[in-house]
Structure 1
Amino acid sequence: MNSRSAARGFLAFLLSLPALKGQPGWAVTYTSKDVCALSKSTVDINCTFKFPTTSGNIPNNVSPVEYTPLWYTKGEKDEPENLKEDKAYGDRIEYICEGLSCDSSSCNGMCTLRIKELRKEDSENYKFRFITNTVKGKYSGVPGVTLSVTDQVKVSFPSSTDPTGENMECHSMCSPVGGFKYNWFRNGQYEQQGMYYKVNINSQDNYSCAVEGYKQLRSPLVYAPRTPSVTVSPSGEIVKGSSVTLSCSSDANPAANYTWIKEHEDSGGRSGQNYTITNITSELRGNYCCQAHNAIGHHNSTCFFIEITSSSQTTAVAVGTIGVLLATILLLVFLWMRTKRASRTSGQGGRPDPMELLQH
């Protein structure tokens, strides 16, 4: 084979290859490479595309030029799986594609993938592929568009120096161009619009926010701590020299922090949900209260009184209890024996009255 024949063969091989990314005249351009959307909402992923009306200087001679759109997340770019055939999407998928605009050298088009009722599992990388009725007219736009689906709308608390109120901020994990508009709710009822809301310290109400138009996707409720409860371990009498742990808990969001205070003490309290007192002495006797507090407010518990019992008192009480128990047992045994003796006597000369037995 001479060099001219080899060149012709190589050219024929190139013309037989499918169109690849980067080949002159072929392109898919996405409006954005990353898209974030709220679950249960609808999202549009847009792209434009173009391809030449000639293949290797050979006119396609197809009129009118037509194409078949295809969006995919699975499979290779030359053998992708059409989203419309994916049961996970069902009728939530829609292709909105315009007709081609062609001139003597190229054709241009637009196509949108619309996904309704978004789910978190829809978070994927989406790519567009088109197949034309021209010679070797196939092309996939990679790497595609990454979609992130979230339902996370949250309330945060920027630092504040106002002792009477606290600023709350509503924000979403998504940050779309232009941002979202937010609505605020107090006790489930609409209050106002805006990213920020000022709440009075120690308000007993609850608050939430949502992206405008998606009130069903509200943030978790935030509220000041409810009345804390106190438990003690071990339960029962507290003996001098022993240890005891007080625990405090409260329903709150944001989660509460805790401070323990002993009544009639000027010194600062101790922080922590649990407060352990070791080697208890009579000086530690008294009322102990906990305060639950968060950014919105605080609430105090009912105080728990620690009464100290000495070990000698405990021993005396225990001995006294044992003595009473033994005396009761002896009395029962004595009565049983008297009853048994009376039964023998009645077998010989008549049955006696039980009341008489007890009076002897």
Structure 2
Amino acid sequence: PNICAVKGSSVVIPCSFDYPDNKQNKVKSVMWGHERNNFYDGPFIFNSKSVDNTSRFQYIGDRLHNCSFRIDQVEHNDTGKYVFRFETNLPSGKWTGKDGSKLDIFDLKTLVTKTNGNGAMKEGDSVNLTCKESCDGGDLSSAFTWFKDGKAISEGRALYLSNISSTNSGNYTCSITTHKGTSSEVININVEYGPKNTSGSARPSTEVEASSNITLTCSSYANPPVENYTWFKIVDRDTGVVSVGNKFELHFRVVSPAVDGQYFCSATNKHGSQNSSIVTLKVKGKNVVINATAATVTALLIVTIIIAVRK
């Protein structure tokens, strides 16, 4: 018979045999051969006379009439024809199966269907993942388990992800529930989205001394990453806002009173943009500088007056 198995599963090749059974004719050894070797002379993949049989191949029959054979964790190179052979204690008692059994090995397949067309997966889309195995011939009786990043998350042939978000990103596989060694190819779900959690911050502080330095930093989460950052300053109701920088950091090397004011940043990628909340900078000491200048001017005037009186 032809037998189909999924890579990584276990498969049993059913087998039965008959022979002239009498006190002088007893089965003393059993063997299973693969088509890559000689069915009569071996070497055999299982030989009851050998102590070096691979643990993947197990004879689960007996020496009377059952010659069933099991292969664990089947691999693609296990594909091919298998034949049973046995020997009795009589010189002429060597028998080999005529037709044998043909074994085919297939991989589990996954089908990905995006409900709103092709292209990148974006937040809000819906995705249907279906586990398929060629051995069932369309029979839906096989039980499947779905895994995300190696952790079991669902049972069933299909996994439906609706209104997906960044939390759905990851590597997905399916397996036959009753065969732990089976696994499909990895399906990577990469959910793209526009900038979010955009924020602005000031270093070392939002309050700085005049003539010191300060850096504004814009941060945002996005997939694909943010392509453009823009810093804006709110001027007044008439002017509105003006662009003051086009990098994620805005540096003021020497702070002057003109730096004082309200700022915000905008982060943009192909899926959209988002503004940060307002960062308010306060320059300390700007009034002191102005008062000191006025005092200096006053002192100069007094000196000038005194000199004029003495003349």
Q: So what's the TM-score if we normalise by structure 1?
A: 0.42
Q: Which has the higher strand share?
A: 2
Higher relative contact order (CA 8 A, sep 6+): 2
Q: Which has the higher helix share?
A: 1
Q: So what's the TM-score if we normalise by structure 2?
A: 0.48
